[in-house]
Structure 1
Amino acid sequence: MLSRRNFLTSAAFAGATVAVGTLDGCSKKSTAAAAGSSGGTSAKTITLGFSQVGSESGWRAANTQSIKDSATAAAITLKFSDAEQKQENQIQAIRDYISQKVDVISFSPVVTTGWDTVLKEAKAAKIPVVLTDRSVDSDPSLFVTLVGSDFEAEGERAAHLLEKVLALPGAPKTVNIAVLEGTTGSAPAIDRAKGFKKIADASHPEWKIVASQTGDFTRDGGKQVMAAFLTAHPEINVLFAHNDDMGLGAITSIEAAGKKPGTDILIVSIDGTHDGFVAMTQGKINAIAECNPLLGPQLMDTIKTVLGGGSVPAWIKTKEGDFMAADAAAALPNRKY
């Protein structure tokens, strides 16, 4: 069983990613390319079955729109379903796509475990699976590739951003951190926590995590959990939020408690949404490690390559940046999500 964190070490899998040439589904370009060897084949539109994890945040909304827009631009027929953050809904959607004999299946998994059975069903039906955004703890031969971010690196980047924030004038010397975790069992929650802790443990014995709990990646979850944190731990002076929406929800509770976000409680989050950047321009969030949701173009290109019999890397990573509050005003006009 390999997780997102270590599945790239499987050399056998890397070699196996090209074994998709026998599938029927292909784009017009790939069909034309194959026509010479097949004696002429009529063009066939690719049908993609995509199961989205949910609509829990601004990041997710942008991710969904990117996939829909990119499918249209690529002339790929998209069958789309929203799992509403329930694994059983995603598994059913994948099974529906298998029965409909789509050309390729893609999904952003709710959690990392529990996928082996349905992925084996897709493999038996000779339908390739391309993961997006999040990976799974499954046999890597059951999916072709992952198109998405390095969540552990994002956690490390968030910790390094906190280092910069704490180096600014007026920053506290005693660091009492609250952590708003993502959905329990999800790849970003697991890996962002691991990456942040890695840097904290290695370099910052003075950092103390006094409270850590899931806010389910939602603004309301961040608001409610932060309110409880402040009641139980009034000494909190730093917040690490696994995404902007939870951080934005926490700001409401911080202000309701009579404290000033970004000053009394320093805030570092992950995502880089438009609303997150607005909060940075207001001085309410101190730094953000970007997680790019605009995966649609990369996903469609990957699908066409796979169905055309081409080779793709085991992990296709997205390009992302880091932003301090001082960068926010200049960067805000260019935010696309």
Structure 2
Amino acid sequence: MGKTFGLVLSAGISALALSAGGASAKDLVFGLIANNMAFPYNVVLADGFKEQAAAKGVKVIVLDSKMSMETQANQMDDLLLQKVDGIAFMPNDSVAVTSLVDKVAAAGVPIVASAVPVGDPAKTPVDYVYPALTALVSTNDVDAGRIAGEYSANLLPKDREVKIAVVEGAPGFSVVGQREQGFEAALKKAGIQYKIVSSQPSDWTPESGEQICQNALTSDPDIDMIFSHADDMALGCAKAIDAAGSQALLIATGGGSDRGANAIKLDEIDASVCTQPKLIGAKSFDILYAAATDPASAKKGQYVSYDMFAVTKDNLANCPLTGW
């Protein structure tokens, strides 16, 4: 729930078209559409994409759709008119963007969904890739929740029912259900008896996390653990736990941020899960580059993810920090 921009072209600059046998790096122009560059996670993802592009001499047009489906659709049309050689984007609405992906694919332009799936996540597995996509490059969020749940199971008592409060991500994001699914499945597998006493949506900010946790602890001061769907809300939640004098464990996923790492170092957050938006951006570029330079060998429907692990005070150095 995502730095200095280099090699960003204005929306009016045209790309050279692909030749039948692919294009050389100096000819390539890619489009990258973020869903909202107000989120640090998304800025870091874009950085990973642009750094790979700079290394290959590829020009990049970076656009911000500001969470508007209408804007994202118009930006996609503009990139096609400019004859870009590939498009990576963070979908604003997983279902609504299917028609956009179909249009780009029909134009013969490789397209990669970064961090957010295409298709109805409620009806498809976490590794489902919409057939018209060249690839989905994403964190496996069921796995991220599972890792948080496995770590939690090692800390929670097994001789009684424990009380857990959940700070959800924002409504409408597929990661909300996926992270919770993996988390609860891990607890059940470990034999933890638990009750979710509170589960409230946030807006992905520390402020909302603090308010949600404050309300949960006021309603039930005996909460054993709070599970946050991302580091940002956990930062605010840590303040609420401290103010309430609570001994509740605080476990997050969607981690790897500088501020989250610092909170773990200071014992404000017990653990999180290392996620890497910069790597998602870099891998998204690599797949587009391969498809643009060797279209004859380009594959469709690739699912690309990466390994994760629980981040604690003992292994902070193992999770790459990239400034988000």
TM-score interval, smaller chain: 0.7 to 0.9
SS of equivalent to 1:326: coil
SS of equivalent to 2:84: coil
Aligned-residue offset at 1:266: 0.6
SS of equivalent to 2:267: coil
Matched, 1:267 2:250: yes
2:55 to 73, 79, 98: 73
Q: Is the 8 A contact 1:66 1:297 kept in 2?
A: yes
**Number of residues of Structure 1 aligned to a counterpart in Structure 2:** 295
Aligned-residue offset at 1:323: 2.0
Matched, 1:248 2:230: no
Q: Which moved more, 1:73-82 or 1:83-92?
A: 83-92
Q: Is the 8 A contact 2:150 2:187 kept in 1?
A: no
Structure 2: give runs of 5+ residues left out of the alignment. 1-15, 121-128
Matched, 1:314 2:302: yes
Q: Which moved more, 1:129-138 or 1:66-75?
A: 66-75
Specify the alignment match of 2:283 in structure 1.
298
- Take 2:252 and 2:154, find their aligned partners in 1: how far apart are those partners? 14
Taking a change above 3 Å as real, the CA distance of residues 55 and 182 of structure 1, as seen in their structure-2 partners, is farther
Q: Is the 8 A contact 1:165 1:287 kept in 2?
A: no
- Take 1:288 and 1:258, find their aligned partners in 2: how far apart are those partners? 21
Aligned-residue offset at 1:181: 1.4
Richer in helix (by share)? 1
> Structure 2: which amino acid aligns with 1:266?
L
Q: Is the 8 A contact 2:17 2:84 kept in 1?
A: no
TM-score (norm: length of structure 2) = 0.81
1:276 to 249, 257, 260: 260
1:193 to 140, 162, 180: 180
CA-based RMSD of the aligned residues comes to: 2.8
Q: Which moved more, 1:53-62 or 1:148-157?
A: 53-62
Taking a change above 3 Å as real, the CA distance of residues 117 and 331 of structure 1, as seen in their structure-2 partners, is closer
Q: Is the 8 A contact 1:154 1:289 kept in 2?
A: yes
> Structure 2: which amino acid aligns with 1:335?
L
Specify the alignment match of 2:18 in structure 1.
25
Aligned-residue offset at 1:154: 0.7
> Structure 1: which amino acid aligns with 2:171?
T
Aligned-residue offset at 1:144: 1.1
Specify the alignment match of 1:157 in structure 2.
147
SS of equivalent to 1:106: strand
> Structure 2: which amino acid aligns with 1:121?
K
- Take 1:55 and 1:241, find their aligned partners in 2: how far apart are those partners? 22
What per-residue deviation string (whole Å, max 9, x for no partner) do you get for residues 139-178 of structure 1? 82221111122111111111001112337xxx99542111
Aligned-residue offset at 1:280: 1.0
Specify the alignment match of 1:238 in structure 2.
225
Taking a change above 3 Å as real, the CA distance of residues 90 and 237 of structure 1, as seen in their structure-2 partners, is farther
Aligned-residue offset at 1:46: 1.6
Aligned-residue offset at 1:30: 4.9
Taking a change above 3 Å as real, the CA distance of residues 88 and 235 of structure 1, as seen in their structure-2 partners, is farther
Taking a change above 3 Å as real, the CA distance of residues 234 and 108 of structure 1, as seen in their structure-2 partners, is same
SS of equivalent to 2:252: strand
> Structure 2: which amino acid aligns with 1:148?
S
Specify the alignment match of 1:40 in structure 2.
none
2:135 to 141, 145, 159: 145
2:34 to 52, 55, 61: 52
Aligned-residue offset at 1:205: 5.0
Specify the alignment match of 1:327 in structure 2.
315
- Take 2:161 and 2:313, find their aligned partners in 1: how far apart are those partners? 22
- Take 2:217 and 2:309, find their aligned partners in 1: how far apart are those partners? 31
TM-score (norm: length of structure 1) = 0.78
Aligned-residue offset at 1:134: 1.8
Name segments (4+ residues, structure 1) moved above 4 Å.
Answer: 171-174
Matched, 1:98 2:91: no
